[in-house]
Structure 1
Amino acid sequence: MHVAPGLKVLYFGTPVVLISSRNEDGSANLTPMSSAWWLGQFCVIGLGATAQTTANLLRERECVLNLPSSAMVDAVDRLALTTANPVISENRQQQGYRFEREKFKLAGLTEQESESVSPPRAAECPVHLECRVVDSYPIGTDPEGFATAFQLEVLRAHVAEELVIPGTHHVDPVGWDPLIMKFCEFFGGGRNIHPSRLAAGWQLPHARQSPSDE
């Protein structure tokens, strides 16, 4: 039997991405995001319309998509509920967001120079995708949309050597264990692996214990 509960969010499970971009003063920004899909050499991502990264991508037209492994969940969670935009909406304040400009330092990650774009890569991430913005589209019924979808072209991909199948141009799907977000909770290897500040801020409940807690 199925029910129609009227779901609050539709995050059924997507990889976490750390997007690095340049702020208006030239400093590096880093933000976690989990609305992305790839096709060929292109990627589509979704970001809140008022996010600092949205403003950066609209202005600078480039970014790096850094894909963390599940082992990096601590670093990713430290970035949750932070924004590089000093103007924080009332709704975000209620969720617990705070202003933080030095995102790489907060996460404990290292800036690494990119080869084809200005924003730095996050050195500790096993995968870096240097991208340019092809186009952007508002999402929602309002003229400006509650979110913005960006179409990105991947200009260069960097992959940790141990993840590349020897003699090929392919990533080992067994060796690659991406950090996944399902309904604002962190998963790796099919298990709920870490408490999520974002889930707490969004007041999303747990109905069952994860296998790791049983």
Structure 2
Amino acid sequence: MATPEHITIEPNVLYVGTPVMLLCTQNADGSNNISPASSYWALEKMLVLGLLADGHAIANLQERPELTVNFPGPELWRHVESIADTTGADPVPEAKSSRYAHERDKFGRAGLTSRASDLVSPPRIRECALQFEAKVHRATQGVGDYFMVEAEVVRVHASPGIVVPGTNHIDPQAWEPTIYSFRHYFGLGAQHGFRPTSDTASHVQLPQPA
């Protein structure tokens, strides 16, 4: 019997493969919060982030609209996971109470190190090779229990090892984000190709087709 080309399914999540981020926001008392996230897209200097409506990150951003977006490498996935079921909210929202616990010191719990930002109040995360400072322009309630946050990147910090020397370009051969796919953490595999508009393609050699 022939296998059908496709079958109809109803997965619980649609995280086909998106980057893992650690968002730093500032609490009302001046302390800092870290929120793991993976709903993200970018257009020029603007980011659109998807955040749960009952999360502490969106509550902070509505009051203090600045954040840093830190991209951990795959080797940091356990650090990310260590705070994935924690919240800066106290008390814990009822909808999260069965799984989440309050954590005031997420930097300590995750074993991560804060570094002062240049243009925004929330800190960056030293261990993340790529870091954005950003300011929120708008947060819009979505159809479901989430917000779409539009933020402008005002400064980018990168480890020298992931930058093409003498340029402002991230080297995709050197940079490896953590990819979140159907609740699993992955790194990147081998490169298969690139767009003609790539800033770094001139020094890339692809394997020749057989």
- TM-score class, shorter: 0.7 to 0.9
2:97 alignment partner, SS class: helix
Amino acid at match of 1:176: W
- 1:207 counterpart residue number: none
Residue identity over aligned pairs, in percent, reads 39
- 1:114 counterpart residue number: 117
- 2:73 counterpart residue number: 69
- 1:11 counterpart residue number: 15
The whole-number CA distance in structure 2 between the counterparts of 1:132 and 1:98 is 28
1:165 alignment partner, SS class: coil
- 1:199 counterpart residue number: none
Q: What per-residue deviation string (whole Å, max 9, x for no partner) do you get for residues 157-208 of structure 1?
A: 0000111001211011011110110111111134xxxxxxxxxxxxxxxxxx
- 1:185 counterpart residue number: 184
- 1:79 counterpart residue number: 83
Residue segments in structure 1 that go unaligned for 5+ positions in a row: 191-214
- 1:163 counterpart residue number: 162
| Counterpart pick for 1:56 among 52, 60, 75 | 60
- 1:135 counterpart residue number: 138
The whole-number CA distance in structure 1 between the counterparts of 2:29 and 2:94 is 25
The whole-number CA distance in structure 2 between the counterparts of 1:90 and 1:109 is 28
1:173 alignment partner, SS class: coil
Deviation at 1:67, TM superposition (A): 0.7
Extract structure 1 runs of 4+ deviating beyond 6 A: none
Amino acid at match of 2:165: P
When residues 169 and 109 of structure 1 are mapped into structure 2, their CA distance, relative to the original with a 3 A threshold, is: same
Amino acid at match of 1:109: L
Q: What per-residue deviation string (whole Å, max 9, x for no partner) do you get for residues 20-74 of structure 1?
A: 0101111010111000111111100000001000000111011000111111112
Rg comparison, structure with higher value: 2
- Root-mean-square deviation (CA), in Å? 1.4
The whole-number CA distance in structure 1 between the counterparts of 2:141 and 2:177 is 28
Given the alignment of the two structures, is residue 97 of structure 1 paired with residue 96 of structure 2, yes or no? no
* Range moving further from structure 2, 127-136 or 180-189: 180-189
The whole-number CA distance in structure 2 between the counterparts of 1:88 and 1:64 is 23
Alignment coverage as a number of residue pairs: 186
2:128 alignment partner, SS class: coil
The whole-number CA distance in structure 1 between the counterparts of 2:23 and 2:41 is 14
Residue segments in structure 2 that go unaligned for 5+ positions in a row: 190-210
